Amino acid sequence: MKTAVLGFGTVGVGVYEMLAKARGLEPGPVLVRPGKEDAPYKVSSMEAIVNDPSVEAVAEVMGGIEPAYTYACAALKAGKHFVTSNKALVAAKGVELNRLAREKGAAFLFSAACGGGVPFLHNLALARESDSILSLGGILNGTTNYMLDAMQRLGLDYAEALADAQRLGYAEADPTADVSGLDALRKIMLACAVAYDLLPTEGLLHEGIDSITAADVRHFQPRGYSCRLLASGGRTESGVYAYVEPVLLREGAPACSVLQNYNMARYEGRNSGPIVLMGQGAGRYPTASAVLRDLSGILRGERYLFSTGCAAGKADNSGSVHCYYVRLPADLAGELEAESTELAGPVARLVTKPMSVSAMHETARRLRARGAALFFAAIGG
């Protein structure tokens, strides 16, 4: 199956290299920017790919919503199978692309968009056919896991950990999507859509690691806690919950053993119980291997990760309740009902009484609007 590749960056190079060696697959044209056509297989026109009858599939690894969405529609309308690692594209346009692919009899697969080389969505799609998925989530962003690990095991401050991640290629020049939790949020959106036939596009909440400091680490670590950025999703009576936030876990919890830039994705089936998958969540070859996994799946007859009835909907996080560890200005400590409070000059560190995820995120939003610098993390098991 000749496959065109859209984009020739880090992952695109890996996909093209692997296509030449994969059983049943072969590399086709590669779409690059105008002026970058420095080899016979490189083209700068999507029309050249769409109008090439020898190209049966298109693998998109460009990133971003546009022009990726326009290119995806063009490929599917031409009856070509479409595979992508682009989580932003699927989170924003996945329902539309799923519908179009089914209308045209073409495949639409994107397991590389969540977990990189970790076959999370692939296994989740298989599990939903015979089991009821009770919950899902985990460590779904390798950049933030690397940074938190560096701050806690190596004693780096936030700026040092970020610079280290950028030097190693784990963080982009603009790391906002990673450190804000948006990247992990997009992944939990896709997981909910695969497991529950509902792609949550409203009511979503995400808190990243951009407000954690070395002083926070020095405070909670001696008390037996380790911090990880966790995505959480699951079924509610009316739909799903879906959110991302830092979580303080007791040392010895499984997630605490996930070091460096690794991911740990999990789901729990009513019949299977907890299932945990761990591996490289990003990088040239881990992500390219997931793209090739989907292409090979097409050869075996696999076509879709979303069901026919998958639709956009709203997440409800009001039923998810935790106690929270919060660091904030001392004069604002009274804004939260606390189980315990420690004051150190102008800074208060407290543990809240149980409160909903929605209430905690809204309180943080409101206090930050008043200029308060704060860090919060759910207290897990």
User: What residues act catalytically?
Assistant: 187
Question: Within 13 A of 337's CA, how many CA atoms are on the CB side?
Answer: 7
Residue 330 CB burial class (10 angstroms; 0-12, 13-18, ≥19): middle
- CA gap 100, 72 in Å, rounded: 10
Q: What does each C-alpha distance from 367 to 144, 246, 328, 363, 372 come to in angstroms?
A: 24, 18, 9, 6, 6
- CA gap 143, 157 in Å, rounded: 15
| 39, 64 Cβ separation under 8 angstroms | no
Within 10 Å of residue 285's Cβ, how many Cβ atoms? 18
Q: Which residue has the tokens 């029309």?
A: 47
| 101, 108 Cβ separation under 8 angstroms | yes
Taking the alpha carbons at both ends of the chain, their separation in whole angstroms is 48
Peptide bond into 67 cis (omega under 30): yes
